[in-house]
Amino acid sequence: MKRHFSPHEQTRPEENNLFDRRTFLAGGLLLSAGALAGCQTAVGLPDQAELPDEEFDYAAAYAALPDGDYTWPAINYKNFDQQYLRQVVEYKTRERPGTIIVDPYNNFLYWTLGNKKALRYGIGVGRAGFAWNGEALIRVKREHPIWRPPREMIARKPSLERYWEKGYPPGLKNPLGARAMDLWQGSTDTLFRIHGTNKPSSIGKSVSSGCIRMWQQDVIDLFNRVPLRTKVVVLSEDPNDTA
């Protein structure tokens, strides 16, 4: 089988409904067979799915996913490089377990587990994903979020003005996808989002818009693991750049 390598969104307070639902898919791949087989994460929300192990079922993890009033389409994961699939990897960091680390340069998001391991997801990074870096907390978690286009996007595409007042409704075509996690620094909304995407082919790529995109199945999986006030670190430079 051939492998293929491969918006700032603004919210208003009335949209910031907090959600805390968990469960759904286990998924991923272990680098060393049996290293975490059958074990449960020691960080994150209770009752979450078990960590990925060597018996991971890609077909089930990325199948069409019923979710309330919507069914998110299946991901044709075989068309993507394996590195972008949800999996447990070796990862060294000084951050505490339960921290999210976003590497926009290599299109990865890590959720640290401790013991030099992390649950890694493939991401797509828009220009907004490179416009902000640093540390923040997930202060708002939104299920089936409303999307409101930023003013600079409306300036480029005036037809989006109609979505400024009430926002783009939830659903399969919504740019934020199935879930959104909003990053705040103190009382300031950074306007940086980790969210789903209705364009699955953008994972593993740099794209024209958006912050940090994830497959719908993956953003739901992460959403069901991380609590509010989870620390997020967005890297300011490529960790592979040793020059």
195 has catalytic annotation: yes
Q: Which of 4, 8, 144, 211 is the catalytic position? A: 211
144 has catalytic annotation: no
Kindly state the DSSP code that residue 96 receives in the 8-state scheme.
P
Residue 34, Cβ neighbours under 10 Å: how many? 10
Quote the CA–CA distance of 150 and 126 in Å, as a whole number.
14
Q: Which two tokens stand for residue 41?
A: 């994460």
Give residue 172's identity as a one-letter amino acid code. L
Quote the CA–CA distance of 152 and 190 in Å, as a whole number.
16
Quote the CA–CA distance of 98 and 44 in Å, as a whole number.
6
70-101 b/e (C-beta count within 10 Å ≥ 16 → b): bebeebebeebeebbbbbbbebeeebebbbbb
Q: Which two tokens stand for residue 32?
A: 């060393």
Q: How far is CA 196 from CA 92, 123, 165, 214, in A?
A: 26, 9, 22, 5
Q: How far is CA 5 from CA 81, 109, 135, 228, in A?
A: 5, 17, 30, 33
Active site residues: 195, 211
